[in-house]
Amino acid sequence: ATRDGGEPVRCYEPSMGERAARRLRLIRGFSAAVARRDVRVDFQPVVSLGTRTVVGVEALARWDHPELGLLLPDEFVPVLEATGQIAELTTFVLDESLAAARRWLDRGMRLSVAVNVSVGNLAVDDFAEEVAALLAVHRVPAELLTLELTESGVSSEREVALPVLRRLHSLGCHLAVDDFGTGQSSLAHLRRLPVDQVKIDKSFVLGMGTEYGDVAVVRAIVDLGHTLGLTVVAEGVEQAAVRVALAEMGCDVAQGYLVSRPLPARCFDTWLESLDVH
């Protein structure tokens, strides 16, 4: 829309060349960024809908780039997946998360930690052995670690992933299907994979406040999960009314801005302590 008949006003959109250059910058700079600790892990609390207590956290990667600013995983995770550098990110996130779990245990808090895992991680034959080694180094019981798999991740390389998933499961780690309801053949996965948890995609949970259809979808997933003996997690809980509705449906645990945004480790610890006070 223009007033003088000239070129329409457009929002700034990076050209293909600029995007490729930015991508290359991330690829080349990642390892050094990890070494400099520009990459960090934030923790978002997960609460029990029954007892209303904090039962765990989800670990979410952030990259505080000195020139590009704070980068979110939706930008850099796909880039690292494409190059194979995702292995380095996952090792870093597991290490930070298990160190934090150990710190909480030492203070008498038994919090579980959920770490996101990509298909590229599961394609590495000794991934389960790496996880076992990190659990041992940090002296964290395996049942406190949950690995979250996105459905696209588990469907595209099913032959590779299954033995690794079975080994992780036999270690005692929990496995969760993330973003449930958005991928393909979701139901087949729940039957076929050794999973313990189903995480309802936040798009349905966010819609519960306004869309009756989303309420119905969420209720169906809660019932299905329970029928299969799984723990059901809702993410994207922003409104108190949605939390109440989820609790009434019997959903087990919830995560969302209503409770807290993801917080850097130190802020998370302060937030936890503030709960004790009240």
Where does this chain bind ligand C2E (CB under 6 A)?
Answer: 44, 60-61, 72-74, 77, 89, 93, 116, 118, 148, 150, 178-179, 202, 235-238, 255-257, 262
C-beta of 150 vs 186, nearer to ligand C2E: 150
C-beta of 179 vs 252, nearer to ligand C2E: 179
Q: Please tell me the distance from the alpha carbon of residue 237 to that of residue 234, in angstroms, as a whole number.
A: 7
Q: Which does 183 bind (CB under 5 to 8 A by kind): Ca ion, ligand C2E, none?
A: none
From the CB of 183, what's the least distance to Ca ion, in Å? Answer: 10
Question: Which tokens in the block code for residue 164?
Answer: 């690794």
C-beta of 151 vs 178, nearer to Ca ion: 178
From the CB of 39, what's the least distance to ligand C2E, in Å? Answer: 9
Of all residues in the shown chain, the one whose CB is closest to Ca ion is 148
Find the binding residues for Ca ion in span 79-138 (CB under 5 A): 116
C-beta of 208 vs 222, nearer to ligand C2E: 208
From the CB of 195, what's the least distance to ligand C2E, in Å? Answer: 15
Answer for which of 42, 178, 214, 252 binds Ca ion (CB under 5 A) is 178
Answer for which of 42, 96, 148, 214 binds Ca ion (CB under 5 A) is 148
C-beta of 75 vs 107, nearer to ligand C2E: 75
Q: Which does 153 bind (CB under 5 to 8 A by kind): Ca ion, ligand C2E, none?
A: none
Chain residues binding Ca ion by CB under 5 A are 116, 148, 178-179
